[in-house]
Amino acid sequence: MPEDAAPPRRTMRADARRNAGKVVAAAGELIAEHGADVSLEEVARRAGVGSATLHRHFPSRQALLEAVFKDRVEALCARAGDLLAAPDPGQALAGWLRAVGAHAVANRGLGASLMREAEPGFGATCHDMIAAAGDALLVRAGDAVRPGVTISQLLKLVGAIALATEQDADGPAEADLLLGIAIDGVRAR
């Protein structure tokens, strides 16, 4: 094999793919119920697999969290892409920020856990994807948004609101209400 060629990747068996999928699904459910610090043993139990199977697919908590997070981030980014064609760019940005807020509240503690326990560069890809998707909407919104507002500032605002409401009995509704107030403050006058 030439020096610069990578060794061939082994294809995962169908049962191994199913087990990995069950682990990600169980982790997603448990994170929504209890937060990102949920026990990995509980994740394995809910998925119906052994602890060794979980760790074979996801050698660290961070690897599992990123697997849960990645699909959801891709869905948020796809929604941003769809909203780029919306007739009202200001409403498109506001709608997407509300979706990001709902995502953050539903994934209790996930973002904070990803950043807190991060390996170098860990979670950066997902963050970069969200920032790029939001920035495209912000640029398109143009004059509908106060001058000087950045996507980084908007995402911090959404994150702070999500963090403040994720433990509330009706966190998603409270986050949406607060985000509506904040969006009104960001609109150009």
Per-residue pLDDT tens, the chain, 189 aa: give them: 555 555 555 677 888 899 999 999 999 899 888 877 889 999 999 999 999 999 999 998 888 988 888 888 899 999 999 999 999 999 999 999 999 988 888 777 655 654 554 455 556 677 888 999 999 999 999 999 999 999 999 998 988 898 888 888 888 899 899 999 998 888 887
Single-letter amino acid code for the residue at 140: R
Q: What pLDDT score does 40 carry?
A: 95
Burial of 8 from C-beta contacts in 10 A (0-12 / 13-18 / 19+): exposed
Please report, for the chain, the start and end positions of each structural domain, with discontinuous segments joined by +: 1-59, 68-186
Same fold, 1-59 and 68-186: no
> For the segment 35-79, what is each residue's pLDDT rounded down to a tens digit?
778 899 999 999 999 999 999 999 988 889 888 888 888 999 999
Alpha carbon distance, N-terminus to C-terminus of the chain: 64
Is the four-CA dihedral 109, 115, 118, 122 of positive or negative sign? positive
User: 1-59 falls under which CATH superfamily?
Assistant: Homeodomain-like (1.10.10.60)
CATH T-level fold of 68-186: Tetracycline Repressor; domain 2 (1.10.357)
Neighbours of 47 (CB within 10 A): 22
pLDDT at residue number 118: 46
Place of tokens 């500032």: 153
